[in-house]
Amino acid sequence: MNWNLDRPINELPNPLRKLFLKEAHLLYQEMQSQKLEVCLIPAPNPHHEGHKIRIATNHNPEWYKEIYWSMSNFRRDLSMRALERIINTKDKAFVVKPYKYDAIYREIIEKRLKEFFSCPTYDNPYHKKMQKFLSQDK
């Protein structure tokens, strides 16, 4: 098979496409339920009257934080749209600028799937088939 991360997931074989869709849905749900939220509270050591500090009351998912800090100008709204396109199998090929996020999220999903299928405790033909496909050079 000649698929690579710059290609849409609808070009994947059906069993692998289903895995990509499931993982994209999990990432999307994490992004929806875990969003950085900050509020102001009174400062523990106030330096003036009314001194307040910011405190995070909710955090982004760890995997998203890693991407955010490793890429400049990485945007949450574009991430959500890319995941929606993948979930709806409307992601597009990455050529130059448009659909860059689609390719980024296909790479993230592939990495997560590789980690899962690298686990030696699963010893069945389906698992071995997925290991083989995910380990191919793309």
Asked whether residue 64 carries a pLDDT value surpassing 60, the answer given is yes
Domain boundaries, the chain: 9-35+62-135
Q: What is the pLDDT of residues 83-124, one digit of tens each?
A: 999 999 999 888 766 668 999 999 999 888 888 877 665 566
Asked whether residue 138 carries a pLDDT value surpassing 60, the answer given is no
What tokens were used for 92? Answer: 């597009």
For residues 20-27, give the mean pLDDT: 94
CA distances from 60 to 26, 100, 106, 130 (A): 14, 21, 19, 30
Task: State phi, psi for 11 to the nearest 5 degrees.
Answer: -90, -5
Report, in angstroms and rounded to the nearest whole number, the Rg of the chain calculated over CA atoms: 19
pTM of the model: 0.77
Q: Residue 80 and residue 92: Cα distance in Å, rounded?
A: 15
